[in-house]
Amino acid sequence: MWDTLFNQVEDHFNELVAVRRHLHQHPELSFKEFQTTAYIADYYRQLQIPYQEKVGGNGVVARLVGNYPGKTIALRADFDALPIHDQKEVPYKSLVPGVMHACGHDGHTAILLITAKLLKEIQHQLKGTIVFIHQHAEELTPGGAKSMIAGGALDDVDLVFGTHLWSSAPIGVIQTAPDRFMAGADKFTITIQGQGGHGAMPHETKDAIVIGSQLVTNLQQIISRRLDPLNTAVLTIGKFQAGDSFNIIADQAVLDGTVRTFDPKLQDQIIDEMDTIIKGTCAAYGASYQFDYLKGYPPVINHRQEAQRILEVSKQINEVEQASFVQPSMTAEDFAYYLIEKPGAFFFTGAQIAGNFQPHHHPKFDFDERAMPIAVKVFLKLIQSYQ
């Protein structure tokens, strides 16, 4: 039964590609994925697998109940896009200006739908229940995972797994970690209020650009000089806005950035250190400030037993050349919320296009579609391992 099912995965490659490319051409932003939700729901309707729409917002949850008692295992895929203009010159380029799937969520959705289609064929022989969680709004805090959990997505679930197509790793590579896998991600905004004036008379001003520049330098010393070097953390200023003219000294500067950590205590220490440095720097120049800090997704912490299982089943797949534990990534994922609630693990499926690597969230991002059947097979092997 299972051997036949695995052999059928390649027969569904064209459908995997078709589903992925349809979604790629019709992307929708976080919390606005109405047509994508309808597309997913219609797919389950045609499969005759019971489903719920609008779970926690725009989420879809389908449940395939086997004929025999067993564990309830959830598989999750996200489906929102990003506010980025697609610059690829491909037949399946986004048809929505300024919006594209720049992170692989279109592929994640195709993978989960085809996995469901294949498992439906052996429903009468399955033990337990398979839950297919299609999550909206992974890209934008507060994300969709938390609200979907509150909406019942994990009710009666014993284990939860998910994958991310990973353009940093080549085809045939499966990566995960036994515990810490992806960092918690926070966002902050610092607004500096100085005193503007003529560029020829700086002594009469409180230059917000100078203050902001000093602050950028001072904040970097938190990581390099205030934290234990054995602790892992990132503090990045990604945006600095100030000024309107070449000869006018700016009265205001706005700095946006992110903090990445694995330890809540370290997170709180960084926030305290930031507040002290911002206060002191602005006071030295006689400026006022506002510091807004938003705690975002918690870190993705895998459960060791389930992560080990991912490696074991992956090594049984011919197309997988390497399956291994890797060092944690400082990227973030709201899959973290599922793992807080239930045992499970998250893993990367290598999807790099050889000779044409573009990072996630790049306007020319793409992935090797041959990675999708590999991810389907890992999901199927995981389900089989609990039968």
Q: List, for residues 9-60, the tens digit of each pLDDT value.
A: 999 999 999 999 999 999 999 999 999 999 999 999 999 999 999 999 999 9
Q: Is the peptide bond before 202 cis (omega within 30 degrees of 0)?
A: no
Distance CA(37)–CA(27), nearest Å, equals 11
CATH number of 184-297: 3.30.70.360
What residue ranges of the chain are covered by domains with CATH 3.40.630.10? Answer: 2-182+300-385
Tens of pLDDT, residues 79-105: 999 999 999 999 999 999 999 999 999
The residues, any chain, with a CB within 8 Å of residue 71's CB and separated by 6 or more, are 127, 128, 158, 159, 386
The mean pLDDT value for 212-219 works out to 98
CATH architecture, range 2-182+300-385: 3-Layer(aba) Sandwich (3.40)
The residues, any chain, with a CB within 8 Å of residue 14's CB and separated by 6 or more, are none
Distance CA(344)–CA(325), nearest Å, equals 15
Q: Is the pLDDT of residue 345 over 90?
A: yes
Tens of pLDDT, residues 252-297: 999 999 999 999 999 999 999 999 999 999 999 999 999 999 999 9
- At position 85, the amino acid (one-letter code) is H
The mean pLDDT value for 360-368 works out to 97
- Name the catalytic one among 106, 138, 333, 334: 138
% of residues, the chain, pLDDT over 90: 99
- Name the catalytic one among 28, 33, 80, 334: 80
Q: Is 164 part of any known ligand binding site?
A: yes
Tens of pLDDT, residues 305-338: 999 999 999 999 999 999 999 999 999 999 999 9
pLDDT score at 300? 98
Q: Is 361 part of any known ligand binding site?
A: yes
Tens of pLDDT, residues 108-160: 999 999 999 999 999 999 999 999 999 999 999 999 999 999 999 999 999 99
What residue ranges of the chain are covered by domains with CATH 3.30.70.360? Answer: 184-297
Concerning whether 86 is annotated as a catalytic residue, the answer is no
The mean pLDDT value for 358-380 works out to 97
Distance CA(20)–CA(91), nearest Å, equals 13
Q: Band of the pLDDT at 356, cuts 50, 70, 90?
A: confident
Task: Map tokens 């994925």 to a residue.
Answer: 33
Distance CA(133)–CA(142), nearest Å, equals 18
End-to-end CA distance of the chain: 12
CA 10 to chain centre: 27
Would residue 315 be called left, alpha or beta, if left means φ above 0 and alpha means ψ between -120 and 50 degrees?
alpha
The mean pLDDT value for 189-200 works out to 97
Distance CA(153)–CA(146), nearest Å, equals 10
pLDDT score at 253? 98
Concerning whether 138 is annotated as a catalytic residue, the answer is yes
> To the nearest whole number, what is the mean pLDDT of the chain?
97
Q: Which residues pair with 130 in a beta bridge?
A: 64, 73
Cβ contact 255:215 at 8 Å: yes
How many CB atoms are closer than 10 A to CB 377?
25
